[in-house]
Amino acid sequence: MQKLLKPRGTQDILPQDQKYRDFIWKIFEKKMVLQGFEKIETPIFERAEVFARPIGENSDIVQKQMFEVSRLGSSKNDNEEKLVLRPDYTAGIIRSYLETGFSGAPQPFKLYYAGPLFRYERPQKGRQRQFTQFGFEVIGDSASATDALTIYTVWDILKSLKILKLCSIEINTVGCELCKPDISEKLQNFFNSFKKMLCGDCKKRINNNNPLRILDCKEKTCQKIASSSPDIIDMVCENCKTHFSETLEFLDELNVSYDLNPKLVRGLDYYTRTTFEVVIKNVKERQSSLAGGGRYDRLAKTLGGKKTSAIGMSFGVERIIEFLKENNIDAPETSKPQVMLIQLGPKARKKTLKLMTELIKKGIKSFIAPGKESLKSQLHLADKKKIRFVLIVGEREVFDKSVIVKDMERNSQESINDGRLINKLKSKIKN
């Protein structure tokens, strides 16, 4: 039979890559717990409306990139509610926040999450159809200090990941509910005069009255035109201006380095006020960002809740892993066995099995291959798996109650009595 392959735009996350995920996750989770965040998980699929309303009916994500979920073989029924794989985490979290009544709980409500998202895109470097995000949301708080603390947390995590110096945190404000329509109109007028030169997508953006998106277009001509467009910061209302300058003041106070990018918008309609993105420094072409986020004070309303101030951010896990590897930043080994047990003969097998259970009880990571018979094949396996200590048990070791401990790195070995084995091993592992 023909071998089946994984779908386009997906990846198997193999054992050798797990250490990078663990590395990022441990740092991320620690920072979350230290700041009083609590973990939430929401369904991988939701009603399409959950995303269409806040992200924007005319956005690329909603128009072209959502995977529909339906029962295999079911006939299309237009009245049926459409379900989709989540292309975004935040909208689902706010749906849950409103549905479960957390909006009545003391605020701010601080949540963190981790999981896969799905977008139907052309797969390329740093962009897959299934990808993972680690992120957090602070719901029910409008203070500019919260914006600063959010960006500080991103900065702090990048520092712990040892990639801060290679990255730049770009910040902008995109205005609030009150001034965004005005900004939109001014940009619409500006881009309208260049309409003929814009790419097909951007022409549509003008027709859909969504000129902010043009600032985000990757086409060279569009970027060139956008670079001479009026800066958003000069068009926002006084309240937004104050909120933004306070945010920057707090960041200076916290010694967080950032770069202002007056053209930064993010590809989702729900953002208001502070937006930010973590990009790689000194690259010719702008690549997909490692992390990003912003304030979204209007989102809850689009999902039928009352106006709720909130801000959040997320890390693109695969993108960061790729970046760590490109820069030869290694993640600590977490799952490698410390000890391998080698048995020679049936009596020895019995003894090594018993020994294995004792080792794992004492927290020593152990590996055994009971199906292998010869010393050579078992040593070969230990070598392949880069296991440092090998415990060899033959008929003789069964008889005189001992074990041969071989240090594969130092190429030395000694015979140790059963009674002293565990303590001896523990001190060897430490050195």
Known binding-site positions for L-histidine: 88-90, 119, 133, 137, 266, 270-271
Which listed residue (83, 145, 164, 199) binds Zn ion by CB under 5 A?
Answer: 199
CA distances from 68 to 46, 51, 88, 235, 362 (A): 10, 12, 14, 39, 49
Report residue 283 as tokens.
């690259």
How many chain residues interact with Zn ion (CB under 5 A)? Answer: 11
Cβ 203 to Zn ion shortest distance, Å: 8
CB burial of 368-403 (b: ≥16 within 10 Å; e: otherwise) equals beeeeeeeeebbebbeeeebbbbbbbbeebbeeebb
Instruction: Give the interface segment with Zn ion, choosing from 4-12, 70-78, 162-170, 198-206 (CB under 5 A).
Output: 198-206
The residues that bridge with 68 in the sheet, in sequence order, are 84
Identity of the residue, 181 or 304, whose beta carbon is nearer to Zn ion in the bound complex: 181
Cβ 59 to Zn ion shortest distance, Å: 14
Identity of the residue, 63 or 334, whose beta carbon is nearer to Zn ion in the bound complex: 63
What distance in Å separates the CA atoms of residue 158 and residue 161, rounded to the nearest whole number? 5
Instruction: Give the interface segment with Zn ion, choosing from 88-96, 168-176, 225-233, 411-419 (CB under 5 A).
Output: 168-176
Instruction: Give the interface segment with Zn ion, choosing from 136-144, 160-168, 176-184, 347-355 (CB under 5 A).
Output: 176-184
Cβ 223 to Zn ion shortest distance, Å: 8
Identity of the residue, 237 or 404, whose beta carbon is nearer to Zn ion in the bound complex: 237
What distance in Å separates the CA atoms of residue 102 and residue 76, rounded to the nearest whole number? 36
Contact 315, 361 (CB under 8 A): no
Residue 61 binding Zn ion, by CB under 5 A: no
Nearest 10 degrees: CA dihedral of 27, 31, 306, 298?
Answer: -60
Cβ 258 to Zn ion shortest distance, Å: 21
Q: How far apart are the first and last CA of the chain?
A: 51
What distance in Å separates the CA atoms of residue 171 and residue 294, rounded to the nearest whole number? 9
Identity of the residue, 46 or 141, whose beta carbon is nearer to Zn ion in the bound complex: 141
Instruction: Give the interface segment with Zn ion, choosing from 231-239, 244-252, 349-357, 364-372 (CB under 5 A).
Output: 231-239
Kind of pairing between the strands at 366-368 and 402-407: unpaired
Cβ 312 to Zn ion shortest distance, Å: 19
Binding mask 290-329 for Zn ion (x = CB under 5 A): ----------------------------------------
CA 400 to chain centre: 54
Q: Which residues contact 395 (CB under 8 A, 6 or more apart)?
A: 344, 345, 347, 348
Identity of the residue, 220 or 362, whose beta carbon is nearer to Zn ion in the bound complex: 220
Q: Which of residues 209-228 bind Zn ion (CB under 5 A)?
A: 217, 219, 222
Q: Which of residues 177-196 bind Zn ion (CB under 5 A)?
A: 178-179
* The dihedral sign for the CA sequence 409, 410, 413, 418: negative
The sheet carrying 339-343 orders its strands as: 366-368, 339-343, 389-393, 402-407, 412-417
Q: Which of residues 404-423 bind Zn ion (CB under 5 A)?
A: none
Identity of the residue, 222 or 421, whose beta carbon is nearer to Zn ion in the bound complex: 222
Binding-site entries: 88-90, 119, 133, 137, 266, 270-271
Residue 17 binding Zn ion, by CB under 5 A: no
Identity of the residue, 117 or 225, whose beta carbon is nearer to Zn ion in the bound complex: 225
Residue 176 binding Zn ion, by CB under 5 A: yes
In single-letter form, the type of residue at position 201 comes to D
Kind of pairing between the strands at 68-69 and 389-393: unpaired
Residue 202 binding Zn ion, by CB under 5 A: yes
CA distances from 425 to 348, 363, 395, 428 (A): 19, 11, 21, 5
Q: Which of residues 233-252 bind Zn ion (CB under 5 A)?
A: 237, 240
* Residues of this chain that bind Zn ion (CB under 5 A): 175-176, 178-179, 199, 202, 217, 219, 222, 237, 240
